[in-house]
Amino acid sequence: MSSTLDIALLRTFHTVAHLRQFKSTAQQLHKSPAAISVQIQRLEQAVGGRLLDRDNQGVALTPLGRRLLANTRELLSVHDRTVNELKVAPAAGRIQLGVPDEYVVHVMQDILPAFIAAWPQVTLEISTAPSFTLLQAVNEDRLDVAIIAHPSGRLPGGHLLQATSPVWVGAFEGLEFYAQPIPVALYASPCPYREAMIDALDGASLSWRPVLDTPSGAAVKACVESGIGVSVIDRARLTPGMFIMHELPALPIHHICLINNPRARMADRAAIELLIASIRQKFKL
């Protein structure tokens, strides 16, 4: 193994590990897929082993890849924090940030504390709402930045954070444990997962009924884990109290996107760009 690890190669590796696709990584890092492949090969040479397994569906981490990911996460964080602290901080700034309920805990606990510590002059105003409501708020200039789930990974002013596979979940392994028609916990409208759920059930001519209609991801989780109904969550957010409901129709891949309002106040633009950079580096399901 090499005695030093290149930060740029590690950043590319972390991005591939989070997005699980070379093509999506290339788009986010503004490089060609071939360039991403070369960087991963150079890092594999440096660590002395294969980091990723590739197939038609994407990439998966090898045991060595998982070790490297875990052991270098803090290294990248310290590096980025050091670089940011050496920059001239904006004199002041106010950012209105929107986050869907299901991701707000991750953003609040894993991303924002370091940002606030590095940039104490910046004031954050955070609101939660369904993804399509947040997108509308950005378009109407009521938010500066928003994280949203969307069926398309290509949105004007958007950065792809991660592709995600939503799955049907319940507290039991089979539908026979639930009363018919199927009790479904719905996310409040307008929400891309709500639309995907209804389209999938109606498209398969399945009989169902709403048992919960809520903007709260925590309420949906409680409804599922208690066995009251079934719903949809990101595969990465499965809990020990949930089973994937394979009997229900497959759902399309969605994308977690970071939307930037280009009409945001010029006085706050530097602070907004710093927040965008921090979210893009640290967001992961």
Secondary element (H or E) of residue 161? strand 158-164
Mean pLDDT of 9-21: 90
CATH architecture of structural domain 166-252: 3-Layer(aba) Sandwich (3.40)
Same fold, 87-164+255-282 and 166-252: yes
The residues pairing with 231 across neighbouring beta strands, listed in sequence order, are 169
Quick check: 248 pLDDT over 80?
Answer: yes
Predicted pLDDT of residue 117: 86
Q: 54 φ, ψ to 5°?
A: -115, 140
Q: Which residues of 142-164 are buried (b: 16+ CB within 10 A; e: fewer)?
A: ebbbbbbbbeebebeebbbbbbb
Q: Is 87-164+255-282 a domain of CATH 3.60.15.10? A: no
111 pLDDT band, cuts 50/70/90, is very high
Tell me, which fold does domain 7-85 have in CATH? Answer: Arc Repressor Mutant, subunit A (1.10.10)
Quick check: 239 pLDDT over 80?
Answer: yes
pTM of the model: 0.67
Say how far apart CA 18 and CA 89 lie, in whole Å.
Answer: 29
Q: Are 119 and 271 in contact (CB under 8 A)?
A: yes
Q: Which residues of 91-128 are buried (b: 16+ CB within 10 A; e: fewer)?
A: eebebbbbbbbbbbebbeeebbeebeebbeebebeeeb
Predicted pLDDT of residue 156: 66
Q: What percent of the chain has pLDDT over 90?
A: 59
In the structure encoding, which two tokens stand for residue 150, read together?
Answer: 């969307």
Quick check: 29 pLDDT over 90?
Answer: no
Quick check: 91 pLDDT over 70?
Answer: no
267 pLDDT band, cuts 50/70/90, is confident
